[in-house]
Amino acid sequence: MRHAFPMDLIIDAAPQGVSARAHLVDQLRNALLAGQLHAGQPMPSTRVLAQAAGISRGTAVAAYEELAGEGYVEIVPGSGTFVAEGLPSLEGRTSIKTAPADSVLSPASDSEGDSLINLSPGSPSTTFSGHRDWTAAWRRAQSAKLPALVPPPEGSAELRERIAEHLHTARGVACDPEEVLVTAGTSDAIGLLVHGLRARGDRLRMATENPGYTKAREVLNQLGATPVPIPLVDGGMDIEELSNHSGALDAVILTPSHQYPLGGRLPVASRLSVLEWARNSEAVVIEDDYDSEFRHGAAPLPAIASLDEEGRVVMVGSFSKTLTPWLRCGYLLVRDPLLRDRMISTRRALGQPVSGIIQQVLAEFMRSGGLRRHLGRVSREYAHRRALVLATTEDLAPEVRTHALEGGLHATLTWTTGITAESITAQLKHLRVAVTPLSRYYYESDCPDQQGIVIGYGAPTDLELRTALQQIRQVLLEIRE
């Protein structure tokens, strides 16, 4: 449906050095906040907008997709793009960075229509779900004849082939589809690995980062394996500490590309050192590559799996960060044939947990280029939201430090003096903002020297994030006083 161009909406050419898309998004965002267009009102069609702004239609489409991801507009397939409900007015609006330090914060009330803004880390934007690439993948999968047999224990051949292609293109890891196993996400992958490693004995000991991914420790404990804490140095696991650890270790679980939750990157020299340790210890390196698709200007480092020539590295990946955890789908790259066979045998006994139709949809989504295009679109959204986090926190330094913003979907704010993270978290919850204290990622026996909170900026809309960041900044100002 074609919608006319509003007479009071003025779009001018981008100044030199500014991209046409970024300039158009900025102008439309300001027009919406200024009330030039009202809730529910149709936006100009992409063709009309492109003609008025003197840009390509593709640039207009990208601009609308970015605004939709930020929560300013809603794209209705087959009908057009419409102004979202509940946009605040630009008039009297206080910027996040310059909000007065003595302004009084009050909890959101139900009468204002506000609900909890959840900045818990790990949740991505799910705007792809209404996109034509995704709906087309579902139509194609649903039109195919359903097999009469259960899905293969290792996963569908087509999805494994697409995952192998993705790993080669996105991470520089050359692999064969036969080396890929489909899982129901990271926790399922770690659990399957524990079963596969039981040939080493029933009392498995596996090194993990401290602080690190709490869910991995929980899975190990539930399955009778022993997680062993190894401290960090310069943002990544201390490989010297790992090498000097007393007692045999069967494996190590790492997040080398974007340490969770502090966000450091393991240097190449340390990646080679962990491979040497694994060779000398006859251990397995489990590389959790959970959000490496999102790099915000930082040059990518080679995956440990790409440096491995002996099949000692198992790479864990998931669609939970790139698409949505509701799919419950991920993968393992297992080059060791004996370990892989044991894991497939376990999977054959327990059953493949990922629905066959989900596997077909994902395979088609990747085959058609839908995943690649989605990653391009959503990376722009995340870059914009990352900039909001930086603008909010830059003047809180040096008392408050910001970490983890080189990539991924979360940021960690730390401080060493004053109020505890639990107190900050409680204050923010009262203000209807949910964050996670950094202490939750440490082993219970360890008390971190620094306080901190971890916030996720992938799932909230731009408007929700702006509101939450203003509340966070105001509360953290107490640390400076």
Residue 101 domain-assigned (yes or no): no
Residue 232 sits in the same domain as residue 147: yes
Same domain membership, residue 267 and residue 164? yes
- 194 plus 343 within the same structural domain: yes
Range of the domain at 48: 1-93
How far is CA 64 from each of CA 27, 55, 61, 300, rounded to the nearest angstrom? 12, 13, 5, 29
Half-sphere exposure of 66 (CA within 13 A, CB side): 23
Please tell me whether residues 14 and 47 are part of one structural domain.
Answer: yes
Cα 442 to Cα 391: distance, rounded to the nearest angstrom: 28
Number of domains in the chain: 3
Tell whether 207 and 353 lie within a shared domain: yes
One domain, residues 200 and 314 = yes
State the pTM of this model: 0.81
Report yes or no on 125 lying in a domain.
Answer: no
pLDDT confidence of residue 296: 84
Query: In this structure, are strands 251-254 and 284-288 parallel, antiparallel, or unpaired?
Result: parallel
Mean pLDDT by 10 residues, the chain (481 residues): 58 80 86 79 88 88 83 83 70 39 41 73 87 92 90 97 96 95 97 94 93 96 96 92 94 96 93 96 96 83 93 97 95 98 97 96 96 89 91 91 93 90 95 95 79 95 90 89 66
Q: What is the pLDDT of residue 481?
A: 66
Look at residue 160 and tell me if it is in a domain. Answer: yes
- Per-residue exposure over 326-362, b if at least 16 CB sit within 10 Å of its own CB, e if not: ebbbbbbbbbbeebbebbbebbeeeebebebebbbbb
d(CA 313, CA 292): 17
